[in-house]
Structure 1
Amino acid sequence: MIDYIAEYLENIRSRRVFPEVKPGYLRSAVPDSAPLEPEPWDNIMADVESIIMPGVTHWQSPHMHAYFPALNSYPSMLGDMLADAINCLGFTWASSPACTELETVVTDWVGKMIGLPAAFLHSGSRGKGGGVIQTTSSEATLVALLAGRTEAIKKYKTNGSDVEDAEVSSRLVAYCSDQAHSSVEKAGIIGLIKMRYLESDVFLSLGGGELKEAIERDRRQGLIPFFLCATLGTTGACAFDNLDQLGPICEEEGLWLHVDAAYAGTAFICPEFRHWLKGVEYASSIAFNPSKWMMVHFDCTTMWVKNSGSLHRTFNVDPLYLQHENSALANSIEQTIPCIKIMVCNKKVWNKRTSKTYKRRCEACCKI
């Protein structure tokens, strides 16, 4: 298997990037039922080459220019091998202390690399903020939306309104740019939240004026604005929403500001690109994908929040079988959807590339 992987990556440029197959091609090439007896390893690998590979889009090929970067590396593969070999389930600190604590360390490393304010770090937020590793930015957006919904309902009911949560939720409204990723719309559908798409400017960027007008219009209609997803590096044009304008409005109006930097986030390793981050101090959460530019293979999304209590209030459950004697001392963000595969940190930390190496790589990509 190791030899096959090495040969595949060494000669990947000779393979056709996009397959010439028709939908359903695989069904007729494999048995209708799983084999009853084991097959020789050589036969299995022959099937991989003759049946699977003809239908593979080769994302690691230097000739692959579609969608977005999805870079891989041997250190990342080795880390994945180690994580899979250990195969422990890190759903609480007690289930594997190293898993939980390694996640907090690694997310602090990455947060510092991209210049996040100390409020988003485990080591700099006095226990309030910190990072978690999600599977995708789509999941991070959903987690942020659901946490923001919980906080909005709690805030509304704290003001003396004796209403059911469902009634408050039916009046909540969220916002994003018309350039936002489709996963923002899906998050609204899953969370049963009205999503307003605000018009971007000539630079495909969302500014404060559009947001302010939308908030005022919705408040007049008796709705409760509570959430904005701003994008740094849109999928269609790599446009950047104006955080410096949007942030103060969100703070003034009490909106949860989530920053989706899935595509461009890695570029903030380079200080010369951090002007796009101006205003991030107003954000409640931010996420980006190391699986795009950081030579860490899919799936890997790093997400940071200013107040981990909002995630606890939304997702935390504490049945007897999850309780342990160090529950009060374990400084971790647990119980997101799904329970975070914390062991994924092990495969990421194996990547021995330094911040300087990442910086040089980002600068080269931007020049291209």
Structure 2
Amino acid sequence: DDEEIESYVEDCDNDDDGNNNSDTSKDDPTYIEKKTINFSRIKFNERKIKARYQKPNDLISDGILEINHIKKHHQKLYQILETNNCLRDFVYPELSDSIGLNERERGFVRDYILYGKATVPEERSQNRNFYDSLISFLKQLQIIWKSKSYQERSETINEKSYSHQVVKPIMDFTLHNINNVESRYDGHPSEATQRRNAGEDGPIRYPDLFSYKEHEKHAINIAFIHGEISNGPFVEINAQHLKHISNDKIRLGKFAKDNLSYYQFFIDDFDSEDLEGDLYEFQNTMLHFHHDKMDIYLMDYELDPFYRMCLVKSFDLPLTKSQNIHETIERVIKLLNIIISMNQIAERNTRIIDNIDNIVAVMSRENRIPERSNVILTNATPYVLAAHH
């Protein structure tokens, strides 16, 4: 009914034809339709959403919109979005598992898996880093294929073992050609979450893994990949395990949201449209490992002021060899294509971080850093403290 819908959305100023709807009567049967016809122009009533969804384990309460979460936990809102053809605003192109390696590189992978060795193509011999990283990844796959624990699908493979044996090689190949980045595994707190409240008083949370790049001029670390591992790959599926998976997905969303928000606060201090434009191109990658799957999410500002979280690929990892070796080879090639897609996103994100760092450096040299009242007073921003003394 109208009251239920109004608890979610406020007026849109224009319909799809650009006509102003401000004088439309609420008795008009098209009123609600005009209000919600295009999600990109819907203004959610933030006060009412906060009151309705103030729950610790709800993505919406953190301003994160992820369509599968909405469909499962907020069916009324999902129906509204579906009825008004708004679901397309939550869709991001799926990462390809068929584009990445060229034919000679695919041949290299086939030979290596079949014979344990392969010849580096001459035209790529100058790019030894790529092939060294690829060989290292394939060697690790062969190690786990020969492992009795993996062959027997043992529940004794826990998160830490899985992290070292499978997740880290995937991360290493994802970042193989990206310089001056760091990765942390289980036990290192998220800087963005710890400084969530514009200082050193945020909650201390530990992602299972994250990769970041440091802003050299201002000693602030900006993450671009977060990951969670929900138990080992062959753990018994029960209610407790499924709850763990659900909670880790929410943790991932919150880590990425904190990271984008943290970066936004940093950039806002410079009051530069160029910096804002770069930030809106940034896509925080989230990797969720559960069972033998890898789910890949991206988070961006496409639905600003909310944070859009999109599942862009769910893939079954080749943790064991199939009896049909050629089927196994094709699965490995698909995984490598997905990793190459993740590498391209990581490259783009680190270029954005570098570009922002360079713009800020120029502004600093030219004394074009404005004084603002809403600065983040942390140890990570000495230039701000100096500007206000």
With normalisation by structure 1, the TM-score equals 0.24
Q: Larger radius of gyration, structure 1 or 2?
A: 2
Task: Identify which of structures 1 and 2 has the higher relative contact order when contacts are C-alpha pairs closer than 8 Å and 6+ apart.
Answer: 1
